[in-house]
């Protein structure tokens, strides 16, 4: 998606260790007009899949998922919770996920009421790197007897394994920008 690639080139900041900071428009400050275009693009890519629910994980995926849901006939958004809240009942699907960004494990939980057999779920997230979060969400969908109709990602890191891992499972994955970083620190984009 050229608009997103251009935005990454214009506003993204590359840090040591291949960390791409895009918090001026994606995951700290959010550019709403850009999210609308991302939502339209995802709706076009996953058209005809019968998607009736959008699934993401707190926190950065929520805004993108909510804006995008508008282009899927206002499908409800469910976000998996990362911490044990006093308000979340015990009747949940849960799975452990490793965060490389925060360098720790956490448990992702979804109340069983909000993910059910027959749901055709589109998983949306801001980043795909090692694929831990997306794979964790796919496990939660499976536990519910629901179907992962696809995975829609804003930025995939080509130099990390998550994207190819998900593709190799036969899951339909669309990453709107697949970022590669050369040794000299320049950013380029791949198509997969």
Q: Which residues bind a second copy (CB under 8 A)?
A: 15, 19, 21, 23-24, 27-33, 35-36, 58-59, 62-63, 65-67, 69-70, 74-79, 81, 83, 85-89, 101-103, 110-111, 113-114
* Least spacing, CB of residue 189 vs a second copy, in Å: 21
CB of 41 to a second copy, least distance (A): 17
Minimum distance of a second copy from residue 101's CB (angstroms): 6
Report the 10 Å Cβ neighbour count for 96.
11
Nearest to a second copy of 31, 167 (CB atom): 31
DSSP states along 50-72: ---EEEEETTTHHHHHHHHHTTT
The span from the CA of 66 to the CA of 76, in Å, is: 8
d(CA 181, CA 189): 9
In the complex, minimum distance from the CB of residue 119 to a second copy, in angstroms, rounded to a whole number: 11
Residue (19 or 190) nearer to a second copy, CB: 19
Nearer to a second copy, 32 or 117 (CB): 32
The residues, ordered by sequence, that sit 6+ positions from 59 with a Cβ below 8 Å of its Cβ are none
Residue 125: which residues within 8 A CB-CB, separation 6 or more?
Answer: 56, 57, 60, 61, 64, 133, 134, 137, 151, 153, 154
Output 103 or 191, the one with its CB closest to a second copy. Answer: 103
């Amino acid at each position: 998606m050229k608009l997103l690639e251009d935005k990454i080139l214009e506003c993204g900041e590359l840090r040591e260790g291949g960390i791409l900071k895009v918090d001026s428009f994606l995951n700290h400050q959010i550019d709403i007009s850009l999210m609308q275009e991302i939502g339209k693009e995802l709706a076009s890519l996953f058209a005809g899949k019968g998607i009736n629910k959008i699934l993401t994980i707190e926190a950065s995926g929520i805004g993108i998922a909510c804006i995008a849901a508008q282009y899927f006939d206002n499908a409800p958004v469910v976000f998996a919770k990362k911490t044990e809240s006093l308000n979340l009942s015990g009747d949940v699907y849960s799975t452990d996920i490793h965060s490389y960004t925060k360098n720790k494990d956490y448990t992702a939980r979804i109340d069983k009421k909000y993910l059910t057999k027959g749901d055709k779920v589109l998983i949306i997230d801001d980043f795909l790197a090692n694929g831990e979060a997306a794979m964790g969400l796919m496990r939660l969908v499976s536990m519910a007897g629901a179907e992962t109709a696809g995975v829609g990602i804003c930025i995939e890191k080509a130099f990390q394994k998550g994207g190819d891992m998900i593709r190799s499972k036969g899951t339909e994955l669309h990453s709107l920008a697949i970022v590669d970083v050369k040794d000299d620190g320049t950013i380029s984009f791949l198509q997969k």
